[in-house]
Amino acid sequence: MPALPRPKHRPLRRPPPKPYHHGDLRRVLVDAALQLAERGGAAAVSVREAARRAGVSPGAPFRHFESRDALMTAVAEEAQRRFRAEIETALSEVPADQPLRRFRNFGLAYLRWAIRNPAYFEIISSGRYFDHDGAGELSRDNAELIAMSERMLAEALAQGALRTGELKPVLIAGRALVYGFARMNIDGHFRRWGVVKAETERTAEAILDLFIEGIAKRPPAAAG
């Protein structure tokens, strides 16, 4: 049965149930947007629904985000922050003089994060929210991560650990491999033969190792 309409008189000396000012609307909207993305993909995020969940009028979000894209950009920034933190934690576990092992940890952290945070990853990777006004930081941060991976492989090459002289194809192939796997996971290419997350992560590790074995110099034992 429907709840009886409450008396309109404000409760005496009690904090009004709905203060005019929300207090932390921006934060709540970003969180709501993420929740919506987790449920139905980035395309299912709507400003109005986020406002609804925040218990606020449909126009209110536009005080904090000039457009839906701006909201999504904020989500992407939050995602990028967490992503980068995860990557740096993973890299801190390997000494700097082992570039190939660092590269492996980098890739593994990338894949794991993408698998465990598909909504975040979708929003980051779609690339739609990098070209807007406030997204300069996002692009720069992303470029830094790429540059880090480039440095690792350059060092590995300098140490003679790679079997190729040309670095550029290796870099792009590495990015494509890892990005492709993460996106296949998001785009439902694995749903068909129902994969659990743990198994997906093991597969991710396997293809990463395959790639590294492919670009690394073979153990000299075989070379006589």
Nearer to DNA, 59 or 180 (CB): 59
Site string for DNA, 8-47 (x = CB under 7 A): --x--------xxxxx-x-------------------xxx
The first and second tokens of residue 188, run together, are 């439902």
Q: Which does 103 bind (CB under 5 to 8 A by kind): a copy of itself, DNA, none?
A: none
| Residue 175 partner contact from DNA, a copy of itself, none using kind-dependent CB cut-offs of 5 to 8 Å | a copy of itself
By CB under 7 A, name the one of 67, 89, 92, 159 that touches DNA: 67
| Full DSSP string of 160-223 | T-BS-S--HHHHHHHHHHHHHHHHHHHTTTTGGG---HHHHHHHHHHHHHHHHHHHBPPPGGGG
**Residue 163 in tokens:** 């079997």
> Which backbone phi and psi does 162 adopt, to 5 degrees?
-105, 155
Other Cβ atoms less than 10 A from the Cβ of 153: the count is 22
* Complex with a copy of itself: residue 10 or 218, whichever CB lies closer: 218
Which of 40/169 has CB closer to DNA? 40
62 binds DNA (CB under 7 A): yes
Distance CA 211, CA 222 (A): 19
Q: Which residues bind DNA (CB under 7 A)?
A: 10, 19-23, 25, 45-49, 51, 55-60, 62-64, 66-69
